[in-house]
Each structure stands twice: as structure tokens, then as C-alpha cells.
Amino acid sequence: MSTTPAPVEDDLATGRMITSRWRPATLRMTPSKEDRGLFGHPRGLPWMLNVEMWERFSYYGMRAILLYFITDTVASGGLGLSANSGQVILASYSAAVYLLAIPGGIFADRVIGPWLSTLYGGLVIMAGHICLSIPVVATSWLGIVLVAVGTGFIKPNLSTIVGGLYDDDDPRRDAGFQLFYMSVNVGSLASPLVTGWLRERYGYHAGFSSAAVGMGVALIAFVYGRHKLSA
């Protein structure tokens, strides 16, 4: 005996995903081959590329100077821990970023959707970088935790949004993800140069401030670009 599937709730307020393709209702996306913008890709793609590039700028920029910050002397602006302790903390932080992506993805899937998950994750990351930019030991540790948690929310969801710009059989899909990962490389290449220079010139907290600015630019692109995702 066949059963009729229950209707899917159109929950625009919470941003829950309403289709099997993981498309959040709040983005109001209508993926189709007729949606063509820059380089023939959907109009929302350039905005999501900017979001990913600047988010990776903030992440890798902070990570490039984090170990030095942990192990440098207090007089030089660091936390004054041993090299071994610094390595353990950095390894734990890196592991947490990837492990937290699991509950971050589940929470987005079952509760708030990828749009709100990415937005809230970005806000938490920026708050973490701001904490790191304050020359206080307690806020520095809080900042490291916040960046790890926020990245766990963004990492599994931004690529979901990019995938939702395309129909499953759209031939542009693979090329779109190639551009997406290219934006990752651009952000990760440029950020250590910027934060490293700022650290040498003005100190660690200036470097962390630039990471906060990068995440702020990513959030602006994400919020504004949301309105470009409709076909």
C-alpha cells in the first residue's frame, strides 16, 4: 500500500531546508541553466566566491601567526607558553575546526538551514578575531575557541549553498566548484603575507585585527549577495 508523503513546510522565518537538494527557503533560489551572470554562471556565484575568499583570508591569516603568538614572550606581545605547548594547542585547534564541522552541518540540516548557519558562524568568527585583537590573555583564549566554533558552522554549509545554485544535471556545476576552490587558494595565499607583515610592523593584535576585517568583508558580501541568488 502506497502512502502520500507529508507536505514539506515552507518555513521562510527559520531558513530550514525544504528540498532534498538542501536548498534553504530563505535564499529563494531557482537554479536553472537560464540563470547566467559572470562567466555564464549563476548570478549568486561571484558573491559566494567573495565570501569564501575573505573567510579563508581571515582563517589562514590568523592561523599563520597563531603559533608565534602562543609561544612568543609576554614582553613581545605573546602568551609566553613553551614550544611544545604551542604545538599541542595549534594541533588541537586545527582538529577542532574539522570535527566541529560535523555538528555544525547536522545543526544546519535539522534546525536552521545553511543560510543562517553560515551567517551566525561568520559573526562568531569575527567576534573571535576581535577578541584576539584585544591585548588581554583571557580574551585571546576566548577568541581561539570562538574562531574554531564559528568555522565549524561555516565549513559544511557555504559549499552547500554554492551547490544549490545549480541543478543536479547542470554542466556548469563542476566548473563552479573549481572557481569556488580557486577562491579558497587566493584567500589562503594572500592572508599570511598581510598578517605576517602587520605582526612584524605593529604586533600580533594588528594581524588579528586584519583577520577580523576580512571576516567582516565576507559577511557583507554574504548578506548583500543573498539578494542575488534568486533566478
Query: How does pLDDT run across 125-162, given as a tens digit for each residue?
Result: 999 999 999 998 999 999 999 999 999 999 888 888 88
Question: Are 205 and 56 within 8 A, CB to CB?
Answer: no
Place of cell 561571484: 46
Tally of CB atoms within 10 A around 201: 9
Would you tell me which CATH number, out of the four given (1.10.10.10, 3.30.413.10, 1.20.1250.20, 1.10.540.10), belongs to the domain 47-72+80-226? Answer: 1.20.1250.20
Q: How many residues does the chain have?
A: 231
Domain ranges of the chain: 47-72+80-226
For 16-75, write each residue's pLDDT tens digit: 333 434 444 444 445 445 555 666 777 778 888 889 999 999 999 999 999 999 999 998
| pTM recorded for the entire structure | 0.81
